[in-house]
Structure 1
């Protein structure tokens, strides 16, 4: 992936920052708006939120919203009986345009086995302007809150870590942080994080 590709927005350029951004993720209890999580910046302003736990009426559906509550990405498992029997289930992320119609922006394939921590999780971009080499991979293990999203060259575009002060006090994985590199679409990053949360039985899942 080239530096030029890195700076191409996947969801929208309004979610690409010229500098590195560190955002905090807090899980919501299932009793509050159907679970999910909230993403805040250093001033505790809500940047994104993810609604899950069947909030759309369909099990497995997730919605990434901006700080105003507007829907950005609808995420759902690829349907069909054949897909249900497939070990490598795929997740599809659709963006909404101003008319409300949906467009596929990324797909994520679940790992072969959840028992192997370093099993790769692959993400493909379905977006005009991005090269065929602009696919991504998850390195590390999300349940430990120690993983990265890397591009095809191995460049880390985003990193999930436990907050240092939280780690010192307790092993609480309900609060963690995501560092997003300059020029990277933050909405895309948290769309991926939402899928990982669901796959590993997080707050988005009932």
Structure 2
């Protein structure tokens, strides 16, 4: 995307969209905090986002993304119930909170269960359907190996996960968000991938 406010793509909020390339660093919280989550810092080592996992929230299948001030900006729930239990995919919903305290769904992530798919497929659909119904995001590559990208259905890369330079630990990795894309949304997707792979946010 070229620079300019007209090319910003807000999903959580336009305040989290930058017209320039943004490199973030994700650091997992200490292992002593079961399901504690992780912290996302900018290039100046200032906290940009934090994610609380089920060990802090006390509820499995629930995640919270906070901004640099610690304010809740994204609430993420795993969909439950009998229908979901027998489904070939697990589903997660991301919500923002409006001024009245009501939840507004902004995206749905669908992840194929290993028993029902030859290859794992993770797609994210934007809510409400303000875009073409064929428009979605997809995770390509391996999150556990810290080598994956979040791309649009048109093949445009929105964000990339990789090992931080000079560091081979999975507890510290880079997250590069391309110009115009919503960083809070990307962090929300990373939080779910973290949980699905039994990492820092899961119990």
Query: Does the alignment reach a TM-score above 0.5?
Result: yes
Change (3 A) 1:69 1:117: farther
User: Which residue of structure 1 lines up, in the alignment, with residue 172 of structure 2?
Assistant: 175
CA contact (8 A) 2:24 2:174 kept: yes
Q: Which residue of 2 aligns with 1:142?
A: 143
Asked whether the 8 Å contact 1:61–1:76 carries over to 2, the reply is yes
2:191 matched residue in structure 1 = 194
The answer for unaligned runs of 5 or more in structure 1 is none
2:56, 2:115 → 1: CA distance? 26
CA deviations over 1:143-177 (Å, ceiling 9, x no partner): 001000000110101000001210xxxx3111001
* RMSD (Å), alpha carbons: 2.4
Structure 1 CA distance, aligned partners of 2:110 and 2:103?
20
Secondary structure of the 2:99 match is coil
Q: CA deviation at 1:32?
A: 4.3
Alignment match, 2:134: 133
Could you state the TM-score of these two structures normalised by the residue count of structure 1? Answer: 0.89
Structure 2: stretches of 5+ with no match in the other structure: none
2:89–2:110 contact (8 Å) kept in structure 1: yes
**Deviations 1:9-64 (CA, angstroms, capped at 9, x unpaired):** 00000000010000000000254485100000011100000001243332110000
